[in-house]
């Protein structure tokens, strides 16, 4: 898996701690609201909403919170007007970073993201300076017994669904498909009763940037973690790649 997806795996392992802090509920609530605003409040007819609700339930987000977020999106409840914001730049080691945000205050979010780039010795860049290195892809994470390449290919073939790649590592399967195939892949997995721990339309780097220096790798991962802890940040994408040995060394710290 790419460095981005190794970090994805780490995030899954620390998901319970994030949930205890409550920040993940806020992040997922915003995604549910945006999904409902764009595609309606019926999850059966709105794949993005169905995915967001499934992700929320996977971390035990209360049903009342989910329903309230949906109603904010459909206009049944009054809520803050959210805007999608994107920032780009470079982390230590020349690692390209894209930060996607949902915010009710554009100026606050911009100032906070700029401050984090500066504090961690990273450089913000103009729009398009980094994003050209990435491609939009549908990404699905399956963990445990269902993370079996043969089984997943069989399920997808039976449903006449095309995917670009399936990679398995540490009982975690990553499925990559074209963004327009998001709904059909999700429906095929759900039909086969395969639990999807994460699904989204993500940004996948065309090429990765391997960081071999321990200090630089530590700094990049810390920077990504700090960004993701911010209440307005929804997703952080990078072209970071780290060897398994170095990743294990950092994980043991």
pLDDT tens by residue, 123-143: 999 999 999 999 999 989 998
pLDDT tens by residue, 21-45: 567 788 889 999 999 998 999 988 8
In sequence order, the 6+-apart residues with CB closer than 8 A to the CB of 13 are none
* pLDDT value at residue 98: 96
Q: Give the C-alpha separation, 90 to 120, whole Å.
A: 11
Q: Give the C-alpha separation, 32 to 25, whole Å.
A: 10
DSSP string, 40-82: -S-GGG-HHHHHHHHHHHHTT--HHHHHHHHHHHHTSS-----
Question: Residue 166's beta-bridge partner residues?
Answer: 175
Query: Could you tell me which residue, 253 or 170, shows the higher pLDDT?
Result: 170
The closest of 121, 112, 105, 104 to 87, measured between CA atoms, is 112
Specify the fold of 134-205.
Alpha-Beta Plaits (3.30.70)
Domains 3-74 and 83-133+208-242 share a fold: no
77, two tokens? 């409840």
Q: Is 205 exposed, middle or buried (0-12, 13-18, 19+ CB in 10 A)?
A: buried
83-133+208-242 carries CATH number 3.30.70.980: yes
> Domain residues of the chain, as ranges?
3-74, 83-133+208-242, 134-205
CATH architecture of 3-74: Orthogonal Bundle (1.10)
C-alpha torsion angle, residues 184, 190, 193, 197 (rounded to 10): 110
pLDDT tens by residue, 188-208: 998 999 988 888 888 989 999
């Amino acid at each position: 898996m790419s460095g981005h997806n190794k970090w994805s795996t780490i995030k899954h392992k620390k998901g319970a701690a994030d949930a205890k802090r409550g920040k993940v509920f806020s992040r997922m609530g915003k995604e549910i609201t945006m999904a409902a605003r764009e595609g309606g409040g019926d999850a059966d007819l709105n794949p993005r909403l169905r995915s967001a609700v499934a992700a929320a339930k996977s971390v035990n987000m209360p049903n009342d919170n989910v329903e309230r977020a949906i109603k904010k999106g459909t206009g049944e409840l009054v809520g803050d007007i959210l805007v999608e914001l994107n920032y780009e730049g470079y982390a230590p080691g020349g690692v390209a970073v894209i930060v996607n945000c949902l915010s009710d205050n554009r100026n606050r979010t911009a100032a906070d993201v700029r401050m984090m780039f500066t504090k961690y010795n990273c450089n913000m860049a103009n729009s398009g300076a980094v994003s050209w290195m990435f491609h939009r892809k549908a990404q699905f994470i399956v963990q445990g017994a269902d993370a079996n390449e043969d089984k997943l290919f069989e399920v997808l073939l039976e449903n006449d669904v095309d995917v670009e790649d399936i990679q398995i590592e540490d009982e975690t399967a990553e499925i990559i498909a074209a963004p327009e195939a998001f709904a059909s892949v999700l429906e095929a997995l759900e039909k086969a009763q395969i639990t999807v721990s994460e699904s989204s339309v993500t940004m996948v780097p065309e090429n990765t940037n391997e960081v071999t220096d321990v200090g630089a790798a530590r700094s990049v991962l810390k920077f990504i973690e700090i960004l993701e802890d911010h209440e307005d940040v929804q997703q952080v994408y990078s072209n970071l790649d780290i060897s398994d040995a170095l990743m294990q060394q950092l994980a043991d710290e």
